[in-house]
Amino acid sequence: MSTPTWEAAADLVVVGTGVAGLTAALDAAEAGLRVVVVTKDAAEEGSTRWAQGGVAVVLGDIPGDTLDAHIADTLAAGGGLNDEAAVATIIRGGPAAVRRLRERGALFDARGSRLERTREGGHSAFRVVHAGGDATGAEIERALVAAARGLALLTGHLAVDAVRDTSGRVAGLAVLDDEGRPGLLRAPAVLLASGGYGQLYASTTNPGTSTGDGVALALRAGATAADLEFVQFHPTVLYTGPAVGRRPLVTEAVRGEGAVLRDRTGTRFMVGIHPLADLAPRDVVAAAITRRMAETGADCMFLDATALDGFAERFPTVFASCREAGIDPRREPIPVTPAAHYACGGIVADVDGRTSVPGLYAAGEVARTGLHGANRLASNSLLEGLVVAERAVRAIAADLAVPRSAPSGLIVPAPAVAVADRGIVQRAMSVFAGIGRDAAGLAAASDVVEAATRLATPIDRAGVEDAALTLLAQAVLAAAGTRRETRGCHVRTDFPERDDVWQRSSLAVALDECGRPVVTADLLAGVA
């Protein structure tokens, strides 16, 4: 990055204004830290506002449901790769975190004083709290943005690189401001809460902001990422013909309330595939839809919600998307197809948000805490963002209280990075690295990305995002090529079975000396 034309200083810089970023910023301000929040768009533009289903949490008022059952469901969905201690900590932290979110003004759907619940894939109980029917993320975002009024919030500011001192400790963040001018935010702590990388694929539920900037920035700063091959595809986005970009989500809660999947002959195809049938974990449903589409040569499957009462009132967001596409879900099945939805992997961080780089923290989708394993349980993501953000702020405050010497000699990663055309990357990832991958396809995708890549110094948002997507494509392909088995969201057609050899293997990725992502270690087994 070029020489900064302006500087500012803080105790903590938070990158991102979704559920994790704003929760952390509010907590940090309450803890007396000088906090600056940067986001590359308007505050509301991240992934959080698009979340529909809700927040999975056990509040103790549903007979028979327990925290242990929520933990067990999370582990069952995660395919044996979850970090069990992280799962327990985050799930058990949920009730208090949701209480604080409500105190900050988020209004969940309720009958009298009792919150309503829905159910989603993989959950053994109705435990998902929701808002505005299917507008949970939008309500959380509204409440947090309102609560954050008065905080130092730099919209239109793009995080480019972590700046470290000669000891390797984070000393600040290089940014491009809303006029494209390079600036330096000096701070001993940077918390990444910048979301995932759904834009790696041509069709995704994610907004245009989800370009993996945070994971790329952390890798360039020397952090480790893991579980990158586990890109979760949501089973049901509204299908309106071939299209690219963000696609309208049809929340799993529609199935939770009784809708069923059918093929174009009207046959229910989830029965017999999994004991929970249409409410199987998301990876199982997405893979089954993909298989059925291939078997029948269809472009989509159908979600039949015609037997549900009050669809328009219960699912206003989905209803509006359907009506816009000329579909009336009260009378006809909704055409659906899977699309890239959530990064189960990310920067390796503990449940307190600490990464391997001193001073660099991560929370929310950008982080891999071990909660999700090979496949995230529905509606555990907003929960993770809330819990880990709060814990990270406590960790940051504790870390900053330890005396340290003033940073000397700032180091910024090399300005020239690999950049490929975004459309080429998205097409290659969609064709070769979606649901159903094999060695030949993954190698072909790598070749396509390689051929499209050149070294460049990004000078604007598009360049920084393209560089992040290029790095993420290389990293996901490296991890997906290494894992020669099928597990969770990672479906290998050439290795279609789960293989116990990989039972405790969480693949870590870091950059080599040339800045290329390589699989460096088996994180859980500790084997290089």
Residues noted as catalytic: 282
Nearest to 407 by CA among 189, 176, 174: 189
Q: Does 251 bind ligand SIN (CB under 6 A)?
A: yes
CB of residue 120 to ligand SIN, shortest distance in Å: 6
Pick the binder of ligand SIN from 27, 141, 252, 278 (CB under 6 A): 252
At residue 455, φ and ψ (nearest 5 deg) are -85, 130
Contacts of 226 (CB under 8 A, 6+ apart): 345, 346, 348, 368, 506, 507, 508, 509, 523
State how far Cα 295 lies from the chain centre: 30
74 binds ligand SIN (CB under 6 A): no
Q: Which stretch binds ligand SIN (CB under 6 A): 249-257, 263-271, 444-452, 501-509?
A: 249-257
Q: How far apart are CA 10 and CA 172, in angstroms?
A: 9
* Closer residue to ligand SIN (CB): 254 or 293: 254
Cβ proximity to ligand SIN, 303 vs 420, nearer residue? 303
Of 252 and 350, CB closest to ligand SIN: 252
Q: ∠ CA(168), CA(518), CA(422), 5° rounding?
A: 95
Shortest distance, CB of residue 378 to ligand SIN, whole angstroms? Answer: 4
The contact pattern for ligand SIN, residues 391-430, with x = CB under 6 A and - = no contact, is ----------------------------------------
For residues 211 and 379, which CB has a smaller minimum distance to ligand SIN in the complex? 379
**Minimum distance from residue 493 beta carbon to ligand SIN (Å):** 25
Cα separation values, 110 from 70, 117, 136, Å: 21, 9, 13
Distance CA 413, CA 408 (A): 16
The CB-of-383 to ligand SIN minimum distance in angstroms stands at 9
Number of Cα atoms under 13 Å in the Cβ half of residue 250: 34
Residue span binding ligand SIN (CB under 6 A) among the ranges 377-385, 389-397, 490-498, 504-512: 377-385
Among 378, 435, 445, 509, binds ligand SIN (CB under 6 A): 378
State how far the Cα of 155 lies from the Cα of 17, in Å rounded to an integer: 9
Contacts to ligand SIN from residues 340-359, by CB under 6 A? 342
The rounded distance, in Å, linking the Cα atoms of 237 and 234 is 7
Closest contact distance (angstroms) between CB of 497 and ligand SIN is 27
Token code pair at residue 224: 């480790």
Q: Judged by CB under 6 A, which of 39, 118, 199, 381 binds ligand SIN? A: 381
Binding mask 474-503 toward ligand SIN (x if CB under 6 A, else -) reads ------------------------------
Which strand (E) or helix (H) includes residue 248? Answer: none
82 makes contact with ligand SIN (CB under 6 A):
no
Token code pair at residue 30: 């309450």
The reply to whether 379 sits near ligand SIN by the rule CB under 6 A is yes
* 170 strand-pairing partners: 164
3-state secondary structure (DSSP) of residue 337: strand
Quick check: 387 and 394 in contact, CB under 8 A? Answer: no
* CA–CA distance, 367 with 287 (Å, rounded to integer): 25
Decide whether 164 or 255 has the Cβ nearer to ligand SIN: 255
Told to check if 199 binds ligand SIN by CB under 6 A, we report no
Q: Which residue's CB atom is positioned nearest to ligand SIN?
A: 53
- Rounded CA separation 478/512 (Å): 13
Q: How far apart are CA 468 and CA 473, in angstroms?
A: 9
Please state whether beta strands 189-192 and 12-15 pair in parallel, antiparallel, or not at all (unpaired). parallel
Least gap, CB of 272 to ligand SIN (angstroms): 23
Using the rule CB under 6 A, give the single segment among 139-147, 208-216, 375-383, 457-465 that binds ligand SIN.
375-383
* Type of residue found at 403: P
Would you count residue 465 as binding ligand SIN (CB under 6 A)?
Answer: no
For the bound state, the minimum distance from the C-beta of residue 263 to ligand SIN, rounded and expressed in Å, comes to: 21
Q: What's the CA gap between 444 and 17, in Å, rounded?
A: 36
Minimum separation from the CB atom of position 384 to ligand SIN (A): 10
- Which residue do the tokens 């940051």 mark? 396
Site size with ligand SIN, rule: CB under 6 A: 11
Give, as ranges, the residues between 118 and 147 that touch ligand SIN (CB under 6 A): 120
CA separation for the pair 23, 19 (Å, rounded): 6
Q: Which residues of 432-445 are buried (b: 16+ CB within 10 A; e: fewer)?
A: bbbbbbbeebbebb
Shorter beta-carbon distance to ligand SIN: residue 130 or 262: 130
User: Does 196 engage in binding with ligand SIN (CB under 6 A)?
Assistant: no
User: Could you give phi then psi for residue 196, rounded to 5 degrees?
Assistant: -105, -150
Choose the binding region for ligand SIN from 145-153, 156-164, 223-231, 374-382 (rule: CB under 6 A): 374-382
**Nearer to ligand SIN among residue 28 and residue 305 (C-beta):** 305
Measured distance CA(345)–CA(351) in Å, rounded: 14
Q: Minimum Å distance from CB 385 to ligand SIN?
A: 11
Looking at beta carbons only, is 120 or 390 nearer to ligand SIN? Answer: 120
Query: Which is closer to ligand SIN, CB of 363 or CB of 419?
Result: 363
- Examine residue 317 and tell whether it contacts ligand SIN (CB under 6 A): no
* Residue pointed to by tokens 């050439």: 494
Tokens at residue 213, please? 């900037």
Residues 2-61 that bind ligand SIN (CB under 6 A): 51-53
Considering only residues 102-121, where is the footprint of ligand SIN by CB under 6 A? 120
Query: How near is the Cβ of 54 to ligand SIN at its closest, in Å?
Result: 7
CB 230 within 8 A of CB 346: no
- Is residue 253 within the footprint of ligand SIN (CB under 6 A)? yes
Provide the binding-site residues for ligand SIN, judged by CB under 6 A: 51-53, 120, 251-253, 342, 378-379, 381
